[in-house]
Structure 1
Amino acid sequence: MKIRCIIVDDEPLARKGLKEYIADVSFLELAGEYDSPVKAAEILQQEQVDLMFLDIQMPRMTGIEFLRSLPQPPQVIFTTAYPDYAVESFELNVLDYLVKPISFERFMKAVLKAKNQQKNTTSYFFIKCDNKLEKIAYQDILYAEALQNYVAIHTSSRKFITYLTFKGVEDYLPADQFVKVHKSFIVALDKIDSIEGNELLLGPHHIPISRNLKDEVMEKILNNRYLKR
């Protein structure tokens, strides 16, 4: 699952450094960069943002003032040249406080916190289907299926067809809960009832396993849970 993040910092070099770090982390996706809180406010209202890298000392409005103004802020990692605001920032429940210059090791430690927190708190998502936003719980998903320009998400109760890319769905689903078994199928690991040859059985559903993915798929499914003599 990708963590969509934005950078809010008035220093171009600071933004450049964070962009390079973000590009090197597979589970991060940069949704935008802004040189002021005012410009960042719009995307927070219009799009899903999971994580914000936020500078503190900026013209017109500080990062702390901006965070306090948000009714439903995303997770926040402060990035600042000033260590003096650490106590005040943690009173705002920020995820971490990075003092510039920021090493990649320290950056990784902070974003791994974001990843772990997202995994612990996220249990559902929304997709657009038949002109409605439909809520889907991860625990209800059996498998996802590629249908040309669409994706069908099969749950325990119904099938949702949505205008998304299969790669986008693959990147969004948690890798510890789902596995791609074929160029057109992703299955929920805990919904697999049995394995027969090159097929997975999920109740009445028969899902093919690609030959070139079989070793990787079997390793992930069994994962030291295969009891044999």
Structure 2
Amino acid sequence: MKEQFTQSQNNKLELSSHNPILCVQNLGRSVEKYWVWSHLSFQLFPGERVAVVGASGSGKSLLLRALAGLEPVQAGQIIFQGQLMNSWFMPSYRSQVIYLHQRPALLEGTVESNLQLVYRLAVHHHQVYNRKLILDYLHLLHKTADFLQRPISAISGGEAQIVAFLRALQLSPKVLLLDEPTASLDAGTAQNLEALVAAWQNEDPQRAYLWTSHDPTQLSRITNRQITLKEKD
């Protein structure tokens, strides 16, 4: 069964004079001749906080992964900052459009070594590790500098998610694709991470995010518009 795309907006943002940071045109993804969704078209503007909602199986995670360049599509195109996704150097694209989910992969070592390792990649050679920024982020999370010296083997699942967020946000991406990233966390940690994302966005008015969550209360707190994946009758 095909999916149809609907979009609703709770509060109309004064962004019409801006160019979209991300543009999706007639996107379609099929699995074994079944169209999970098709003819998806929407724009993400600077400063937006957008929820992606829909029934289980409607392809929310698949959509976010496709936007991150982690899943193929069979129709349509994705445009980031006015340039087709396929024309970008993909490591560079993925450093600016970052996908975060609830099961982060971390390496052996300390929290800080995990944050520093990304700067050894060629795509990040123009950037340097900013410990002050990380400490400012930790303050928002009610964590002290000692957290950076914790071995990865000794941190909890919630703390692992904190590391994943820090590792991504320190790269100053333009777009975050947040796929149920707080689903397995306690309410306090989840709200701390929401505050961290808000702080990241407030640093640069050009930044925007898409967020999926099964918690409508959370989405009402952290988003101001929604994109709905809906089954056709």
TM-score (norm 1): 0.25
Q: Looking at both structures, which has the greater relative contact order when contacts are Cα pairs under 8 Å and sequence separation is at least 6?
A: 2
Instruction: Give the strand-richer structure, 1 or 2.
Output: 1
Q: TM-score, normalised by structure 2?
A: 0.25
Rg comparison, structure with higher value: 1
